[in-house]
Structure 1
Amino acid sequence: MATTSQAHLPASMKAQFLDDFNTPYVLRSVPLPALSSPYDILIKVDAASYCHTDAVLAAGLMQPNPLSLPHVGCHEFAGTIVALPVDSLSNFTVGDRVGVPGRSFHPCGSCFECATGPTAENPDADPPGYSVYCQKSLNNGISSDGGFREYAVVDSRQIAPIPDKLTAVDSSVLMCAGVTIYNALKRCALKPGQRVGIVGCGGGLGHLGLQFASKMGFKVLGVDNADAPLNLARDLATGAVIIDARAQNADEVAIQLGKEDGKQERADMGLDSVIILPESQKAFEYGVNLLRNHGRCVIVSFPEKGFHIFSRDIIFRDISVVGSLVGSNKTLREMLQFAAEKGVRAVLKTFPLSKLNDLVAEYHKGEGGKFVIDMVLPD
């Protein structure tokens, strides 16, 4: 496909490849990717963030596993547009800074998900012709190559302009972690002043969630069970109450909250909604036990063996359980503006592209926060 001038671009680029599961990434040079659709855009990647899903994919544990190897990971990144097709259907121009989420690359445009568009029940859905839930689409960094490379082709329908107040590094972590936790908070369906809990509050999504939730006007409870993530959550100074699950059981915490709210009955004590981030049955049960009757549990994680849901909670306590994947493009743009205006920023560490394996090693220490490839850093 013909493009706008690429005379200023190199013929090749560096990219980090996963050649086999449970092996280190390998850095090598390859040709720049080609544009294949009027919706395509070529960007120079400025920052690429590492997500838990990258670790799952690299271990060969993604079910069903869509990977064909070798593979370039990263489904949350940011960059600058350097080329467009001559018949471009996008509203972007060369030089625009954009954030790129993983879903959805080249959706089919005709399945029921793509055709539905916004509804009264889901006003934030993508417009007809595009859906992040399209089962026939590819996904950057998952079923197609992602951001751990110097240049990438992205779908203009999925990206969002980066606000002036946000750097590329700040924005990259918001493309999955940020929009996912922001959408989960919206799915809690709460009003300012109500109580929300975030189980796994010191991780990448969790510590962003503490900030978003507090700035949305909710009463926030964070839960974790390891020293480093707990310390990170406490250091954020969001006003959230941070609980060590090893030291207090959920029933004690719910009763304490109920007394603060002037409640008299245990069934009316606790959280209005809770978000579950860890892939742990114990974390799931802890979160559900924090809920007051008629509360809502929002699940973000998807462990290989799933979660066991106790029917007594659903039937006798009227607890509702819903899932939350990512947000629509409308939600993505709303989240970016909110983060820029309210000062929501990730606690992060940066590495050059050549040090991706060092980044992975740091991630597996489990100390919380986010880890980002910053293309500006020298090797």
Structure 2
Amino acid sequence: MPLSAEVPAHALACVYEGVGLPIKLDDKHPVTQPQDLKQGEVLVKLEYTGVCHTDLHIWKGDTPFPVPMPLVGGHEGAGHVVAIGEGTDTALSVGQAVGVKWIADTCSTCSYCMNGADQHCAKAGVSGMLQDGTFAQYMVAAARYVTPIPDGIPLELAAPVLCAGVTTWSALKRTNAKPGDWLAISGASGGLGHLAVQYALAIGLRVVAIDGGDDKRKLCEGYGVDHFVDFRDYKSGAELIDAVKAICDGIGPHAALVCATGGNAYGQAIEFLRARGTLAAVALAANTKIEAEVFSFIGKGLTVAGSYVGSRQDAIEALSFVARGKVRPNVQVEALKDVQSVLERMDRGQISGRIVLKCH
């Protein structure tokens, strides 16, 4: 069994012990040894892991179903293969940089898997929710589902692309927006939003970034958005809706991405979209419903598309933008042990861009 380095028997992992309970920093968490890997598995030494808003939802118990705990959280991992299970048929090699995603594995044979929508596989494993995830120094992953990371991408930048990047890129594709079209992005400076802005600009869309605060304006304008709309400047949602319409030819954008966790962003998007516009729903806002007045909704011929992470191919494409210098995640690196502090700041809305944790 080829190994790039000796694998320790134990290492650090951050464990959710129960909903809302303090996260346990377990520095004696057992590490699966190379000889114990099953066929089809690889052992990944994680170097960085992003922190996603979904991690916060899981920790707080906001999911619509109970999550099995104790559980190692996280699902945006980047690291290196250190061992490959005996008999595994794979092009991966020991020492290769790979990414671990929200979707950990699928059946590969159902109609969704066969048609490029593998994220909807009924048998999919989910990192950091249904099985241990990336808030750890080592983890076992399915060889067929890790994503090779192109040479030249720093791993701290690759990590958030494995969820936030693939999710927003996939959502953009769902809108069918074409170069020159207007796209409104709610929550434009957040972990999802700031990547959505960059992907949209990279394919020639005209972007209206919606968020609040001077720092967030500076970030979005630095990317070259066509307009920044500070929601704090408007006394009501109706005024904000009118402002977005006025910017976009007086009739509204062709498409909208909701990356904001405030539930009112969905209703506003439906109102400001132009006729035949498409809303791609991305952000998971707890206890939120998407509602529309049916006469207006039908009269405008609107489309609402739920967009759930992305496929293996979407992940490859999302990383390629970073490799070509078209997209660069805005990351702040902190220590793995700081994960609870990061989640608490996220819950208070105090984070722009993406926090990435250094695992070693």
Q: TM-score scaled by structure 2?
A: 0.91
> 1:211 pairs with 190, 195, 198, which one?
198
Give the Cα separation in 1 of the matches to 2:163 and 2:335: 20
Cα shift readout 1:345-378 (whole Å, capped 9, x = no counterpart): 12221111222223223333423211111124xx
Q: Over aligned residue pairs, what C-alpha RMSD do you find?
A: 2.0
Give the Cα separation in 2 of the matches to 1:241 and 1:98: 36
SS of the residue 2:275 aligns to: strand
- Bigger shift: residues 174-183 or 342-351: 342-351
- Cα deviation, residue 292, structure 1: 1.1
> Residue 45 of structure 1 corresponds to which residue in structure 2?
46
Cα shift readout 1:87-120 (whole Å, capped 9, x = no counterpart): 0122100010011111032x23444433xx13xx
Contact 2:208/2:225 (8 A) holds in 1: no
- Cα deviation, residue 4, structure 1: 4.3
> 1:360 pairs with 334, 339, 343, which one?
343
What are the within-5 Å matches in structure 2 for residues 320-331 of structure 1? 320-331=303-314
> 1:370 pairs with 342, 354, 359, which one?
354
> 2:316 pairs with 333, 339, 361, which one?
333
> Residue 282 of structure 2 corresponds to which residue in structure 1?
300
SS of the residue 2:249 aligns to: helix
Unpaired segments ≥5 residues, structure 1: 119-124, 260-268
> Do structure 1's residue 82 and structure 2's residue 43 form an aligned pair?
no
SS of the residue 1:44 aligns to: strand
> Residue 55 of structure 2 corresponds to which residue in structure 1?
54
Q: Which AA in structure 2 matches 1:293? A: A
What are the within-5 Å matches in structure 2 for residues 87-126 of structure 1? 87-105=87-105, 107-114=106-113, 117-118=114-115, 125=116
Give the Cα separation in 2 of the matches to 1:323 and 1:7: 43
> Residue 155 of structure 2 corresponds to which residue in structure 1?
168
> Residue 72 of structure 1 corresponds to which residue in structure 2?
72
Give the Cα separation in 1 of the matches to 2:104 and 2:358: 24
> 2:254 pairs with 246, 269, 272, which one?
272
Give the Cα separation in 1 of the matches to 2:122 and 2:216: 34
Give the Cα separation in 2 of the matches to 1:95 and 1:212: 30
Give the Cα separation in 2 of the matches to 1:362 and 1:283: 21
Unpaired segments ≥5 residues, structure 2: 235-239
> 1:141 pairs with 113, 128, 131, which one?
128
Give the Cα separation in 1 of the matches to 2:324 and 2:64: 37
**Structure 1's 298 and 5: CA in aligned 2 closer, same or farther, altered over 3 A?**
closer
> Residue 238 of structure 1 corresponds to which residue in structure 2?
224
- Cα deviation, residue 6, structure 1: 8.2
**Structure 1's 9 and 256: CA in aligned 2 closer, same or farther, altered over 3 A?**
closer
> 1:284 pairs with 259, 266, 269, which one?
266
> 1:24 pairs with 22, 25, 41, which one?
22
Give the Cα separation in 1 of the matches to 2:346 and 2:218: 16
- Cα deviation, residue 340, structure 1: 1.6
How many residues are aligned here? 350
Give the Cα separation in 2 of the matches to 1:68 and 1:184: 28
Q: TM-score scaled by structure 1?
A: 0.87
- Cα deviation, residue 256, structure 1: 3.4
Cα shift readout 1:2-39 (whole Å, capped 9, x = no counterpart): x5458711111111111121122111112113655422
Cα shift readout 1:38-69 (whole Å, capped 9, x = no counterpart): 2211010010110000000000111123x221
Q: Which AA in structure 2 matches 1:238? A: G
Identity of aligned residues (%): 28
Give the Cα separation in 1 of the matches to 2:173 and 2:14: 35
Q: Which AA in structure 2 matches 1:243? A: V
- Cα deviation, residue 302, structure 1: 3.4
Contact 2:182/2:248 (8 A) holds in 1: no
Give the Cα separation in 2 of the matches to 1:281 and 1:359: 22
Q: Which AA in structure 2 matches 1:22? A: G
> 1:201 pairs with 165, 170, 188, which one?
188
> Residue 237 of structure 2 corresponds to which residue in structure 1?
none
Contact 1:104/1:158 (8 A) holds in 2: yes
Contact 2:68/2:129 (8 A) holds in 1: no
Give the Cα separation in 2 of the matches to 1:341 and 1:137: 31
> Residue 241 of structure 2 corresponds to which residue in structure 1?
250
**Structure 1's 230 and 7: CA in aligned 2 closer, same or farther, altered over 3 A?**
closer
SS of the residue 2:125 aligns to: coil
- Bigger shift: residues 357-366 or 203-212: 357-366
SS of the residue 1:292 aligns to: coil
Contact 1:201/1:230 (8 A) holds in 2: no
